[in-house]
Amino acid sequence: MTAADLVTMPRLGSPITTDNGRFAVYSVTSTDAKTLKRTPAYYVLDLQTDGASPVKIDLGGTASSLSFGGDNFLYFLSDRTPGGEGPHPVANRLWRAALEADGNVTGPMLVGEWKSASPDGYTLSPDASKVAVWTQMPRDCATFACEEGGNADEPNQGAGRLYEWDAGFVRHWDHWKTPGEFNRVFVFDIKGGEVSGPGTPVDGKDPETGITANTPTMPFGGGEDVAFAPDGSGVYFTARIADKNEPTSTDLDIYWSDLSGAAPIELTAANTAHDSSPTPSPDGKYLAYLAMERPGYESDQMAIMLRNVKSGKVRALTRDFDRSFGSIAWSADSKSLIATAYDTLDVPAFKVDAKTGQITKLDLIAGYEAHIGNVIPLPQGGMLFTRDSIGAPAELYMASAGQQARPLTDVATSRVGKLASTVTTRFSFPGAGGDEVWGQITKPENYKGFIPAILYIHGGPQGSFNDSWSSRWNPRVLASQGYAVISVDFHGSAGYGQAFKDAINQDWGGKPLEDLQKGLAAALALDNQIDGGRACAMGASYGGYMVNWIAGKWPDRFSCLIQHDGLFDMRSFYYATEELWFPRWDFGGSYTDVPENYEKWNPVNHVDKWQTPMLVVTGEKDFRVPYTQGIQSFTALQERGIPSQLLVFPDENHWVLGAKNSLQWHNTVFDWLDYWLNSEVDAVSDKAPLNEQ
């Protein structure tokens, strides 16, 4: 499996279904092997006919954000014009089409357009009589197609952006914020298949009495932040207040708008921590949502909360269950929820009884559950979902009630099956403090001879290198180059309970490093084919921090290092990153408050011991770990005369997303590993491995 195989592998999109659960529509994105241009195609699948094959549908041009309305039309956004003359100058407009089981499309028909605004997304009411659309605009805009508000062009106006001291974020993730503009949601009636009226802002018509906030939340919020009541009488939405506290607060809240234009009602004011994912029950009696307890902590336990809509009473359904849920969906009968959570290298699905709170782990897949996502409970029972693993990309599955699932698609499985196979082994060992720590080894199957080792270090740090497919840090494609990829879910990782996750707090370079050291030793003891004398460590984000930490605290162990978007100097990082709640929680306060905590775990303080060759990778649009952190580490390497390379992507953020850039990233990494691990010793040598730390 080459880097090109990974980059051009077809990618399954999130499925949608008709209200009756009869049909599903999903996308498959293909990447041209020569141009590396990515193009989505859409398919309809009959879920109630055994053996039905997917049928490709032609929507007659660009289409995104597909959804079925209660009227059974297929809605989507597109930049097309009614006459098909080419892209519309304002970009996205809302369309719908009639779709038949054989893939025949009638239309598309224009539903809504706005002269000076382009929707970034939308949510339909259950009966498709209303639509909520959102985009970024000034708070004083009274209409969605705002022409009267905001920062109008002025004579002699320069290009500079002026921020006030209480403006909140000035930049976030990979975008500079435009002063005075926010993500805002407007709700419109749909009459006769067309948007009607001026629209109603859910944040309140009057900025003085309403809220100034971002909905969807930035930088990753979307349709999960906006939900209509089942009867269409109003909208639940998640908002982050945009004020001076924004960079230091994790206080997302859920609001209710009755669509009158009045100020919305804050439903979660009692909780000053995170509240999100408003999900009303189909019968309209309850509102389920996700919530954390501790303000300022972005990786606290995420529990499922249940609010009685009539009484306003709230109870925690899963607070006593020591896992953190990431998604929720109601069953059709409103009696239970289906939720997913990290759980010891897997992301399985759980059934949560809405009355008793009883939690049942669902056995949907023979063997390991791996990574289950995009769960859609079906009206007739059972569910539709996607499943991926280290072994193969996502495919669409359906499970009947009480039964294991069967695959419905073959988007990439057969293609992967034609490539050289790899094998993944799970293992556990006593880590720091004697706690059980889990890891995985992925290596070529039926490989002859000894194999160099790669220590894979995940980011977060409250994350996991679990059993899932990735288009970026993919163990299978790396193992296919002739390496044994060893990942360790060190203290701080997700899926092992909140105490284990919390254990990294103010201990960034302590227990996690001990776990990595013991985990590497355990893997080498378990598999004597792995050559511990030829080893490289690599990681991104916190994983990149740990690579920098290893360079000074474990300097003689590895033949090479790869550091991607890693933290190098905790002081300069603190004053340059955007989400300040993150370092404040993990280090016990601001740099001014507790400089000793930052300096205790600061890689820059141990540069005098650096000696290992290092490849440094960074993106100029990364505002979470600004690219200057990578430049600083490269400068340190240069000053010490250590063999090193610096790969800078001017158009990438914290992740490498572009197809051409991804191919360059992989080939650069492969060349670096090959030079330091295979240039002097044949990878298929019969020389005995050096399995000592």
Q: What is the pLDDT of residues 157-179, one digit of tens each?
A: 799 999 999 989 999 999 999 99
Which of these is catalytic: 172, 458, 654, 666? 654
Report d(CA 422, CA 5) in Å as an integer: 15
**All domains of the chain in start order, with CATH:** 12-148+167-322 (2.130.10), 420-678 (3.40.50.1820)
Respond yes or no: is residue 622 known to be catalytic.
Answer: yes
Q: What is the pLDDT of residue 313?
A: 98
Inform me whether the pLDDT recorded for 44 exceeds 70: yes
Which of these is catalytic: 27, 125, 487, 541? 541
Mean pLDDT of the chain: 95
Higher per-residue confidence, 484 vs 102:
484
Inform me whether the pLDDT recorded for 251 exceeds 90: yes
Which of these is catalytic: 253, 275, 531, 622? 622
Least confident of 495-499, 549-553, 571-575, 675-679: 675-679
Angle at 99 between CA 98 and CA 102, to 5 degrees: 145
Cis peptide before 207 (omega within 30 of 0): no
Q: Where are the alpha helices (DSSP H) in 355-473?
A: 413-417
Mean pLDDT of 310-327: 97
Least confident of 96-110, 296-310, 606-620: 96-110
Q: How confident is the model at residue 683 (pLDDT cuts 50, 70, 90)?
A: very low
Secondary structure class of 674 (helix, strand, coil): helix
- Among candidate residues 379, 315, 369, the one with its CA nearest the CA of residue 347: 369
Inform me whether the pLDDT recorded for 526 exceeds 90: yes
Residue 436 burial class via C-beta count within 10 angstroms: exposed 0-12, middle 13-18, buried 19 and up: exposed
Q: How confident is the model at residue 87 (pLDDT cuts 50, 70, 90)?
A: low
pTM for the full predicted model: 0.95
Inform me whether the pLDDT recorded for 149 exceeds 70: no
* C-alpha pair distances (Å), 484 with each of 239, 252, 323, 478, 535: 44, 42, 30, 8, 9
Report d(CA 177, CA 567) in Å as an integer: 23
- Among candidate residues 202, 272, 271, the one with its CA nearest the CA of residue 237: 202
Report d(CA 287, CA 305) in Å as an integer: 8
Q: What is the pLDDT of residue 64?
A: 96
Q: What is the pLDDT of residue 83?
A: 65
Report d(CA 302, CA 660) in Å as an integer: 37
Q: What is the pLDDT of residue 59?
A: 95
Inform me whether the pLDDT recorded for 692 exceeds 60: no
Report d(CA 568, CA 582) in Å as an integer: 16
Q: How confident is the model at residue 84 (pLDDT cuts 50, 70, 90)?
A: low
Q: Return the amino acid letter for 306.
A: L
- Greatest Cα pair distance in the chain: 77
Report d(CA 481, CA 3) in Å as an integer: 9
Report d(CA 563, CA 566) in Å as an integer: 6
Secondary structure class of 236 (helix, strand, coil): strand
- Report the chain's C-alpha Rg in angstroms: 26
Q: How confident is the model at residue 682 (pLDDT cuts 50, 70, 90)?
A: very low
Q: How confident is the model at residue 154 (pLDDT cuts 50, 70, 90)?
A: low
Respond yes or no: is residue 654 known to be catalytic.
Answer: yes
Q: Return the amino acid letter for 406.
A: R
Is 188 within 8 Å of 197 (Cβ atoms)? yes
* C-alpha pair distances (Å), 587 with each of 414, 491, 509, 628: 47, 15, 12, 21
Report d(CA 365, CA 345) in Å as an integer: 15
Q: At what angle do helices 511-526 and 542-553 cross, to 10 degrees?
A: 80
Report d(CA 437, CA 496) in Å as an integer: 9
The torsion region of residue 632 among left (phi > 0), alpha (psi -120 to 50) and beta comes to: alpha
